[in-house]
Amino acid sequence: MDTDELLNVVDVEATCWEGQPPSGEVSEIIEIGLTVVDLRAGRRLAKHRLPVRPARSKVSPFCTGLTGLTQAEVDQGLSFAEACRTLAAEHRAGELPWASWGDYDRKQFVRQCLDTETQYPFGHRHINAKAAFTSSFGLRRRPGMAAALTMAGLPLEGRHHRGDDDAWNIAALVLDLSGRGDWPAA
């Protein structure tokens, strides 16, 4: 299959708190969701989930309420460095273009890679799906993913704020934009 037709759609969940993080803790990726999209065929090919063990923070009750992820669950996950190596080796993250809803996911990877001296797993071809959606629909404000699904007439599948489910839903939006001729080339 030609890599020009494939796209990795990525969504991360990170440790979060209702207010400020506790002293000494920082927001870290605790789950990576990835959906492989075949843009030419117009379909989602595979859905993946990588739980990631945080090193400098704990999953708060607020975070569990939002994502459903628990400390016990992420304690069984990969280290961040292992997760990045898995993205590169098993999901061709450095070769394929990738998309996320907004720029948060890209920036979180950049920051966390710098903080942990981990090799950034992705190539330079990132597309902000939220910006593409906003432009396609002629909106002034960029909507959240759930609102965008409603605007596009698409269902929210799975649990919102779970990496694999959100990546799957963002992929549906990408395919909708592609079908409209509004998906930018990577």
pLDDT, tens digit only, all 186 positions of the chain: 555 699 999 999 999 999 999 999 999 999 999 999 999 999 999 999 999 999 999 999 999 999 999 999 999 999 999 999 999 999 999 999 999 999 999 999 999 999 999 999 999 999 999 999 999 999 999 999 999 999 999 999 999 999 999 999 999 999 999 999 999 987
Q: Is residue 32 a contact partner of residue 8, using CB atoms and an 8 Å limit? A: no
Residue range of the domain that includes 45? 3-179
Phi first, then psi: give them for residue 126, nearest 5 degrees: -110, 140
In a domain, 186, yes or no: no
pLDDT on residue 68: 98
Query: How many C-beta neighbours within 10 Å does residue 11 have?
Result: 28
Give, in order, the Cα–Cα distances in Å from 161 to each of 4, 5, 11, 32, 158.
29, 27, 9, 11, 9
pLDDT on residue 21: 95
In a domain, 32, yes or no: yes
- Scored b (16 or more CB within 10 A) or e, 135-156 reads ebeeeeeebebeebbeebeeee
Domains in the chain, number: 1
pLDDT on residue 185: 85
What residues are paired with 34 via a beta bridge? 10, 48
What ranges in the chain are assigned the alpha helix state H? 61-67, 71-75, 80-91, 104-116, 129-136, 145-152, 163-179
In a domain, 111, yes or no: yes
In a domain, 184, yes or no: no
CATH number of the domain enclosing 16:
3.30.420.10
Phi first, then psi: give them for residue 108, nearest 5 degrees: -65, -40
In a domain, 39, yes or no: yes
- Vertex 179: Cα angle to 178 and 184 (nearest 5): 20
pTM of the model: 0.96
Q: Is residue 50 a contact partner of residue 32, using CB atoms and an 8 Å limit? A: yes
pLDDT on residue 1: 52
